Amino acid sequence: MNLRRGRPDKLVIISIISGVIFIMIMLLVITNNIAWFDDAIISLVQGLENDRLTSFMKFLSFIGSSLMSVMIFVLVFLFLMIVLKHRRELIMFLVTVGGSELWNLILKNIIQRARPNTHRLVEITGFSFPSGHSMAAFALYGAITFLLWRHIPQYAGRIAMITAGIALTLLIGISRIYLGVHYPSDVIGGYAASATWLMICIVCFRKWSFVK
């Protein structure tokens, strides 16, 4: 007898909550009712500015760039295909990361929020909401963590992988605020949107492969 039958999937609940958070942030952005929050966080983060920290933040931003994301994506893709030979995991990885990128493009062009134009430490074009770096990092490292979890037998190794993924994702988002190319609401909105998509992909993968 399956005691879990009839109970709501926790990942579905997380996906719904993340989706609601994203919609709330999006509405606040569209109605321009979140400026007070953005200004407070920007003032706090950029108030830490110094030369060494700026170099570090530029490095983090580069790690979250499209070039690095593609390189990491290709490495994981080859690992799943050649080493593990897991076709379903490979498809899940492709759909999760590729779908997140597509959603980001669609959402940016729908909302069309201009980037911050004060105290920008690097130059970049395009719309601001939601943050592409944040969405890509959340989807990429979240998918990697989920797919490699079962292949790391040591508990310490699993904790280290999760900690590294969370820390890197958060730091990439903070770097975008520090460098003046994103509002905090862009970053949080990006995390929420990507979390929604990641949970949907994991739920579908589990249903498809009968992984409980």
**pLDDT tens-digit profile of 48-94?**
889 899 999 999 988 888 788 888 888 887 877 777 677 788 888 88
Dihedral of CA 3/7/9/13: which sign?
negative
**pLDDT tens-digit profile of 149-183?**
777 777 787 888 888 888 989 999 999 999 989 99
Confidence of residue 212 (pLDDT cuts 50, 70, 90): very low
**pLDDT tens-digit profile of 115-148?**
988 888 888 888 899 998 899 999 999 998 888 7
Q: Report pTM.
A: 0.86
Contacts of 189 (CB under 8 A, 6+ apart): 22, 25, 26, 29, 129, 130, 131, 134
